């Protein structure tokens, strides 16, 4: 197993509500990351094709029979990623072409069967061969996200083997669900990808806590969203009418060691690719001497965790 790896965090905005244009931007960022020597490339929550940050700013969306919101939802659905599809295959081809492992958040939709016309907040992991090795749907949409997203399942609560160790990930407030955390700790992650829209102070705490608890490296991935990205169907909030470039999402991406300390300090209002050489991965095993929540610090005679990993469809 490799003991060092170069990581590229893409802290940037997609082309909102435009899957094709977002894929083009993604391809450019992956090419740039690969040219910089990255082996692991990560994008934030629902990067394809856009996190709905406007939910926290545009109040009328919650009204019954609000036509503009229905139009926004229809655009989200139409520009969501289908799996499998030519678009999802393209992600695998990029990984194969550049020899990278990719972790990315997507808006996912299905065309038929259970969950048709539902949008899922999903996390995908593609390995260097281009294979989709994990497909996780967020278990519980966070707060206002419940207006847009369906419930996920336990199928993707797993880590995958790579040449730099076990790799897994969770989405946003899944990091605040104790049993979900424990399910992933049982997977033996060496590197954990924490996908967020915006890694503000409390989410920095959650990311650091996950690293300390799981004795693993955590790459917390944020993204940017500016006022001009708010859907045109919705009324621009008053505080942004004269500030189209104001940040609604400020990024905050960072990397944390298995002792809970920063290896890469939070990066706010920085757009583009953030490179970091992640070194001495074996240190995670030494840190487990003090705490191993699935091993010597686990009381299986007292607690029993059962996980249903059935894919609903």
Q: Which residues are known catalytic residues?
A: 45, 138, 172
Q: What is the CA radius of gyration of the chain?
A: 19
Pairing outcome for strands 224-226 and 262-268: unpaired
* φ, ψ for residue 217, nearest 5 deg: -80, 135
Residue appearing with tokens 């503009």: 68
| DSSP3 helix / strand / coil % (the chain, rounded to 5) | 30, 25, 40
DSSP letter at 112 equals: S
- Helices 178-185 & 201-214 angle (0-180, nearest 10): 40
Q: Which residue is it, tokens 């001497």? A: 289
Residue 48: name the closest of 72, 25, 71 by CA. 25
Query: Are 276 and 5 contacting, i.e. CB atoms less than 8 angstroms apart?
Result: no
Q: Are 180 and 215 in contact (CB under 8 A)?
A: no
Which sign does the torsion angle of CA 233, 239, 242, 247 carry? negative
Q: How many helices (H) and strands (E) does the chain have?
A: 6, 13
What is each CA distance from 122 to 68, 138, 216, 224, in whole angstroms?
25, 6, 22, 19
């Amino acid at each position: 197993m490799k003991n060092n790896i170069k990581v590229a965090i893409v802290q940037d905005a997609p082309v909102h509500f435009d899957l094709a244009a977002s894929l083009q931007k993604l391809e450019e960022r992956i090419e740039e990351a690969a040219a910089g020597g990255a082996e692991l490339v990560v994008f934030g929550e629902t990067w394809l094709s856009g996190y709905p940050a406007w939910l926290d700013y545009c109040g009328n969306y919650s009204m019954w029979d609000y036509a503009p919101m229905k139009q926004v939802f229809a655009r989200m659905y139409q520009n969501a990623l289908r799996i499998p599809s030519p678009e999802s295959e393209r992600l695998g081809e990029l990984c194969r072409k550049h020899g990278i492992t990719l972790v990315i958040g997507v808006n996912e939709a299905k065309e038929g069967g259970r969950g048709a016309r539902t949008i899922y907040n999903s996390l995908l992991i593609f390995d260097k061969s281009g294979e989709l090795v994990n497909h996780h749907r967020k278990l519980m949409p966070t707060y206002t996200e419940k207006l847009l997203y369906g419930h996920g399942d336990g199928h993707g609560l797993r880590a995958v083997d790579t040449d730099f160790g076990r790799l897994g990930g969770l989405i946003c407030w899944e990091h605040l669900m104790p049993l979900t955390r424990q399910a992933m700790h049982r997977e033996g992650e060496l590197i954990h990808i924490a996908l967020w829209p915006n890694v503000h102070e409390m989410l920095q705490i959650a990311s650091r806590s996950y690293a300390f608890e799981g004795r693993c490296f955590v790459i917390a991935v944020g993204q940017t969203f500016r006022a001009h990205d708010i859907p045109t169907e919705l009324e621009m909030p008053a505080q942004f009418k004269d500030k189209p470039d104001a940040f609604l999402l400020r990024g905050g991406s960072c990397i944390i060691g298995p002792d809970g300390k920063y290896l890469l300090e939070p990066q706010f209002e920085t757009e583009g690719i953030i490179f970091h050489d992640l070194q001495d991965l074996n240190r995670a095993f030494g840190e487990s001497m003090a705490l191993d929540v699935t091993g010597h610090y686990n009381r299986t005679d007292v607690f029993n965790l059962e996980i249903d990993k059935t894919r609903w469809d």
